[in-house]
Chain A
Amino acid sequence: QVQLVQSGAEVKKPGASVKVSCKASGYTFTSYGISWVRQAPGQGLEWMGWISAYNGNTNYAQKLQGRVTMTTDTSTSTAYMELRSLRSDDTAVYYCARVSRDGEGWFDPWGQGTLVTVSS
């Protein structure tokens, strides 16, 4: 079955960086893209950006430009999201989700989520 499995929880200090992985299985990785969505405690869903696993094209939300980088490793069907210069308001559960190759449309399925806590 189609599945996305994410790396484990992280605790980081303000100013540090975090890199979350998302390993895909059950489908042809390069036929789709991966979007990243985060959810702060008790809050709604916030889209962070998208990467095409086909050609590596990316599109990031303006508010994260310069702090976020999304990459893929097609040899292992794994996507990565790195967020730098972490602040306390980056504390959230980070999800990866499969999306169409050009980034449009719906997200299905989602990874189980990775809790990133930013605290001094």
Chain B
Amino acid sequence: SYVLTQPPSVSVAPGKTARITCGGNNIGSKSVHWYQQKPGQAPVLVIYYDSDRPSGIPERFSGSNSGNTATLTISRVEAGDEADYYCQVWDSSSDPHVVFGGGTKLTVL
């Protein structure tokens, strides 16, 4: 099955930029989606199709995808951005078809 690798944790000071990576074999050829999950809450979509933002998601959230790494970038980080972040792809040749990364805990210092 296809494997997505995320760092377990990322720490950043308020106002700085956080970058959360998602590694996978030739992930640049796939569409990557990102979710934010706060404690006790359901996940929320923050980026789809590598870099598109759903309505209501701040412009501070952006994404990129190339080669073997996709990246979620959060600019001007705020305390409210502290959460777990998951990347996800759909791969018809894999079982399961839907794969999530292991998740990254973003800590705002």
Interface size class of B (residues with CB under 8 A): 20 to 34
The answer to whether B28 has its CB under 8 Å from any CB of chain A is: no
Q: Is A105 an interface residue (CB 8 A)?
A: yes
Which residues in A have their C-beta under 8 angstroms from that of B90? 103-105
Residue of B nearest to A46 (CB): B100
B47, closest chain A residue (CB): A106
Determine the chain B residues whose CB is within 8 A of the CB of A49 once the complex forms: 96
Q: Would you call A112 an interface residue if the criterion is a C-beta within 8 Å of the partner chain's C-beta atoms?
A: yes
**A105-B33, A108-B54 as given contacts; A44 in contact with B86, CB under 8 Å:** yes
Q: A61-B95, A104-B90 are known contacts. Are A113 and B100 too (CB-CB below 8 A)?
A: no
Residue A110 at the chain B interface, CB threshold 8 Å: yes
Given contacts A105-B33, A106-B33, A47 and B54 within 8 Å (CB-CB): no
Residues of B within 8 A of A62 (CB): 95-96
CA–CA, A47 to B2, complex, Å? 13
> From residue B84, how far is it (CB to closest CB) to chain A in Å?
8
**Segment from B17-25, B37-45, B69-77 that makes contact with A:** B37-45
Q: Which residue of A lies closest to B32 (CB)?
A: A106
Q: Do B33 and A59 touch (CB < 8 A)?
A: no
User: Do the beta carbons of B45 and A107 come within 8 Å of each other?
Assistant: yes
Q: A45-B103, A106-B33 are in contact. Are A95 and B97 (CB under 8 A)?
A: no
Within the complex, which residue of B44, B48, B96, B99 is in contact with A105, where a contact is CB–CB below 8 Å? B48
B38-95, CB < 8 A from A: 42-45, 48-49, 54, 86, 88, 90, 92, 95
Q: Which of B35, B49, B98 contacts A47 (CB 8 A)?
A: B98
Inter-chain contacts of A45 with B (CB < 8 A)? 35, 43, 86, 88, 100, 103
Give 4 closest A-B pairs by Cβ, nearest first.
Answer: A47-B98, A106-B33, A108-B45, A61-B96
Interface residues of B (CB under 8 A from A): 31, 33, 35, 42-45, 48-49, 54, 86, 88, 90, 92, 95-103
